[in-house]
Structure 1
Amino acid sequence: MRQLSITLSLVALLQNLPAIAQGTETTSGIPSDSIQQVITAKWMTNFSDGKFYPERLLSRAELASIMVKTFRLDKRQAITKENLAIPDVPRSYWAFNDIQIVLKTDIMKGYRGDEFFPNQKVTRAEALAIFAQAYGVFQFPDDAVNEILATHPDEKSIPDWARKAIATVVTEGFINTDAQGNISPLKPVTRGDMAYVLSKYLQRQKQQPETPEVPIIPNSPQSP
């Protein structure tokens, strides 16, 4: 009888394994659910071997492609402009169209001599600022920005040009930090980092009502 009880317990445990796995973290510390959500949304993809590799670093070209997919930048009016001449991004380059789009929409900028440096790795500050640019940077006054960022021990290492954008991401709850709450703005951003930010943004999108409610203004035609 005891043997049967042990067997039934093992069966129950095995049946519950898929549910347990869904809530686990990857070796990079990013929840596996976050990664699966952005893959399902087709904002990011696995590599050809079927693995995501959350610890791998993002290049500027990869980030450009992600921004176009996430925010549907190809639908914005600015892309009707003529293509830009980018010396280090020939038309044959895999991300040529996406890079053209992020430049035309001012979501990303080129460097000296109009070059893009598509293979250059991106810091967390750069990635978060670019994401916020596409999302919409909140125009907080400087005092509010300082107050928002003050809860993070390494906030003094955030570059001045990124502070307002990162304050936006922090306010919206899109950012991942370490156990001490450090933003680590100067570290290279990983695929896992970006998946986390995108998953939080996706969750926010799902929470929005399909038809926004119009507030009733007193003495307006809609007032009862």
Structure 2
Amino acid sequence: MKKYISLLVALAIIFSFNIIGARAQAIPEIQAKNADALVTLGIMKGYEDGSLRLENKIKRSEFITLVVNLMGYDADTNLDSVKVTFTDIKKSHWAYDNIRRAIKYDLVSGYPDNTIAPDNDVTYAEALAVVIRALGYEKTLKGEWPGNVINKAAELKLSANLNLDPNHKLTRGEMSVIVYNALTVKFNR
């Protein structure tokens, strides 16, 4: 009987490693598939050489641009009344107009010190908070930061195929999963 139980335990361990290994291999494939779909939809753009560099960390300015594109705000050229008061971004920054669009549509508010940190990496919790706000669910958040956005993201299935720490700095591939998942969420407006 002991041998039988030991054999079952060993088989269960081997089986679980195979599932974990298969899932780990599938994640880059899911990210690539999601990113390709976002490129096709015009939401995500590659680098000048055509690559997407999904393994690279995503900057806050890149992330804001993705959300602006996701929402279709990138075509809005009426930005004359939008004032940027953040002290750490200049008009010459490549994402300046997208940050203005994000301000206009209340997608971002920056940090308490009046900065936006456009060239810093974006964390998982920060990204989820902005996507949740863009989709109109910010007022439905319950609880304390960052658990409130993690829980709402799970409820909305924004975090499907991801299991990350709230402070994890996102890669472009991980972000493509969140933005792709957002395409299936009904707007709460």
Q: How does 1:32-71 map to 2 (within 5 A)?
A: 32-71=32-71
Equivalent position of 2:149 in the other structure: 165
Counterpart AA for 1:54: L
Write the distance in 1 (CA, Å) between the matches of 2:51 and 2:85: 35
1:196 aligns with 2:174: no
Mapped partners of 1:30, 1:74: distance in 2: 26
TM-score normalised by the chain length of structure 1:
0.62
CA distance in 2 between counterparts of 1:98 and 1:113 reads 21
Answer yes or no: is 1:184 the counterpart of 2:157: no
What SS does the aligned partner of 2:30 have?
coil
Inter-CA distance 83–184: structure 2 relative to 1 (3 Å threshold)? same
Distance 1:75 1:82 in 2: 15
**Pair 1:132-2:116 in alignment:** no
Unaligned runs of 5+ in 1: 1-24, 143-159, 209-224
- Residue pair 1:58, 1:122 contacting (<8 A) in 2 also: yes
Is the Cα–Cα contact under 8 Å of residues 34 and 196 in structure 1 kept in the other structure? Answer: yes
TM, length-normalised to structure 2: 0.72
* Residues 140 and 127 (structure 1), Cα distance of their counterparts in 2 relative to 1, 3 Å cut: closer
Q: 1:121 to 1:176 in 2, by over 3 A?
A: same
Matches within 5 A, 1:1-224: 28=28, 30-73=30-73, 81-137=81-137, 139=140, 141-142=142-143, 160-177=144-161, 182-202=163-183, 204=184
Deviations 1:98-139 (A, max 9, x none): 112212332112224422211011111111111111112261
Query: Secondary structure of the residue that 1:166 maps to in structure 2?
Result: helix
d(CA) in 1 for partners of 2:112 and 2:45? 31
Sequence identity of aligned pairs in percent? 24
Cα distance in 1 between the residues matched to 2:177 and 2:127? 12
Distance 2:167 2:49 in 1: 30
Q: Note the C-alpha offset of 1:42.
A: 1.1
Aligned residue in 1 for 2:19:
none
CA RMSD of aligned residues (A): 2.7
Measure how far apart 1:52 and its partner are: 1.1
Count the aligned residue pairs. Answer: 160
**What are the Cα deviations for residues 73-116 of structure 1, in whole angstroms up to 9, with x where unaligned?**
3578x956332233321111111111122123321122244222
Q: Distance in 2 between matches of 1:111 and 1:90?
A: 16
Q: Which 4+ stretches in 1 moved above 3 angstroms?
A: 25-31, 73-76, 78-82
Gaps of 5+ in 2: 1-24
Once the 2 structures are TM-superposed, how far is the Cα of residue 30 of structure 1 from its aligned partner?
Answer: 3.3
CA contact (8 A) 2:73 2:101 kept: yes
Q: What code does the residue aligned with 1:98 have?
A: N
**CA pair 50-75 structure 1, distance change in 2 beyond 3 A:** closer
The answer to whether the 8 Å contact 1:124/1:188 transfers is yes
Larger RCO (alpha carbons 8 Å, 6+ apart): 2
1:161 and 1:81 mapped to 2: Cα distance?
Answer: 32
Q: For 1:131-189, what per-residue CA distance to the aligned partner results, in whole angstroms no more than 9, with x for missing partners?
A: 111112261555xxxxxxxxxxxxxxxxx3233333222112221455xxx33211101
